[in-house]
Amino acid sequence: MDFRAFHPPLRTLMGPGPSDVPHRILEALGRPTIGHLDPAFVDLMDEVKTLLQYVMQTQNELTMPISAPGSAGMEACFVNLVEPGDKVIVCQNGVFGGRMKENVERCGAEAIMVQDAWGSAVDPQKLEDALIANPEATTVAFVHAETSTGAQSDAQVLVELAHRHNCLAIVDAVTSLAGSPLKVDEWEIDAIYSGTQKCLSCVPGISPVSFSERAQHRIRNRRRKVQSWFLDMNLIMGYWGQGAKRAYHHTAPVNAIYALHEALLMVHEEGLENAWERHRRNHDALRAGLEAMGLGFIVDEAHRLPQLNAVSIPAGVDDAAVRTRLLREHHLEIGAGLGDLAGKVWRIGLMGYSSRIENITACLGALDAVLTDMGAPINHGVALPAAEKVLAAA
Ligand SMILES: *Cc1c(COP(=O)(O)O)cnc(C)c1O
């Protein structure tokens, strides 16, 4: 056998994550590894927490990165806040709400599902009806930015409803964090989790989480131990907690934390509001190009995410063939449809460092070339000028 070092092809990542990782962050990843209890690393951990508090807009003391991907952040929120026999209301409008249901059931609790069509936002009225019908519910969970459809829900309104009915709110912000407005304290979110590989443009594999005072109170007063040893926040706090002497819990992914720190620094330097605004402006440009080409969005304008654009695949066009050609000929990755939307939509991500003008023009140019060559019913040669007109006006 002839084994060689792996050198990945250079790609432009415009799918649902991971997004393009800037050189600056990859460079941070390659710095020398030090011990995870080294005083220099402990200082870095404190700074990561402070920067995460800024990016999440929260003063929550219990704010930290979980050493595993977004799915582990999701699981951390459920296993810490839900106990066997609890009733949890899960609002589902795409793939990730379905995973929340799985988590609830694996905690031995009952999931009350509130369903909305894929591509729609969560309907607050349906949540309120479910809260009234289930007064013993303890928790409400929903996805702020549904990456499977490109729809965003009104987190502030949904959390307020949960609180009015004495429930805590768990919010999935994997795709929203740093890409569109998210204010943990102002919106009084109790438990939130995100991921590093979407709008933070960091390497995959870490999940920032934050828990409010109310959530911490519930965690401290559980009837029984958290079923997961690794994700038990009571134990993790011994390692990540401020002030207290750090005790070994697990070995932090030291180099990945360097990368996360660099990613958070980049958001801080740009300014969080400026990052939100960049995502919105670039979405407007991409959208003008796609619409000029004749491609339509599946989410109505009021609920569209700027960082995840789900567009309908024109009739008669072979979904997989287009994506294969984009990758082979243009080194461009866009996302396929998930679940009910498989084969029906493309998901074009403009997340974090991928939300750049050169990516927009590359994507529109490549799509125009491939679709035109395949004889697809699109308007040729008009996408780029339409996008550029929007960018020039901004
Ligand atoms: C990507 C994503 C996740 C899962 O994150 P991983 O890092 O892939 O585990 C969860 N929720 C949403 C909304 C996502 O987009």
Which among 19, 143, 174 is the best mutation to test ligand 1's pocket, defined by most ligand atoms within 8 Å of the CB? 174
Atom number of ligand 1 nearest to Cα 204:
7
Q: How far apart are CA 30 and CA 206, in angstroms?
A: 17
**Mutation choice for ligand 1 from 75, 175, 180, CB with most ligand atoms inside 8 A:** 175
**CA angle, corner 328, sides to 323 and 329, nearest 5?**
100
| Other beta carbons less than 10 A from residue 169's beta carbon | 26
Q: Which of 67, 90, 96 to mutate to test the pocket of ligand 1 (most atoms within 8 A of CB)?
A: 96
Pairing of strands 345-349, 308-312: antiparallel
Cα 368 to Cα 20: distance, rounded to the nearest angstrom: 22
Q: Which residues contact 66 (CB under 8 A, 6 or more apart)?
A: 72, 73, 76, 193, 206, 207, 208, 209, 231, 236
Whether 96 is in the pocket of ligand 1, judged by its Cβ within 6 Å, is: yes
Tokens of 123: 């309907």
Q: Cβ atoms within 10 A of the Cβ of 42, count? A: 14
Sorted by where each starts, the structural domains of the chain and their CATH numbers stand as 23-268 (3.40.640.10), 272-393 (3.90.1150.10)
CB 153 near ligand 1, within 6 Å: no
- 198 CA to centre of ligand 1 in angstroms: 9
**Bridge partners of 347?**
310, 335
- Ligand 1 atom at shortest distance from the alpha carbon of 94: 13
168 pairs with which residues across the strands? 139
- Can you tell me the distance from the alpha carbon of 365 to that of 359, in angstroms, rounded to the nearest whole number? 10
What distance in angstroms lies between residue 216's CA and the mean position of ligand 1's atoms? 24
Nearest CA to ligand 1 atom 14: 174
143 lines ligand 1 (CB under 6 A): yes
**Distance, CA 42 to ligand 1 centroid (Å)?**
28
Q: What is the DSSP string of 105-160?
A: HHTT-EEEEEE--BTBPP-HHHHHHHHHH-TT--EEEEESEETTTTEE--HHHHHH
Name the nearest CA neighbour of 247 among 42, 31, 55, 1: 42
Q: Which residue has the tokens 């988590």?
A: 103
As given in the structure block, the two tokens for residue 253 are 């992914």
Q: Which residues contact 157 (CB under 8 A, 6 or more apart)?
A: 124
Output the CA 195–ligand 1 centroid distance in Å: 7
Instruction: Print pLDDT tens along the chain (394 aa).
Output: 899 999 999 999 999 999 999 999 999 999 999 999 999 999 999 999 999 999 999 999 999 999 999 999 999 999 999 999 999 999 999 999 999 999 999 999 999 999 999 999 999 999 999 999 999 999 999 999 999 999 999 999 999 999 999 999 999 999 999 999 999 999 999 999 999 999 999 999 999 999 999 999 999 999 999 999 999 999 988 777 766 578 889 999 999 999 999 999 999 999 999 999 999 999 999 999 999 999 999 999 999 999 999 999 999 999 999 999 999 999 999 999 998 899 999 999 999 999 999 999 999 999 999 999 999 999 999 999 999 999 999 8
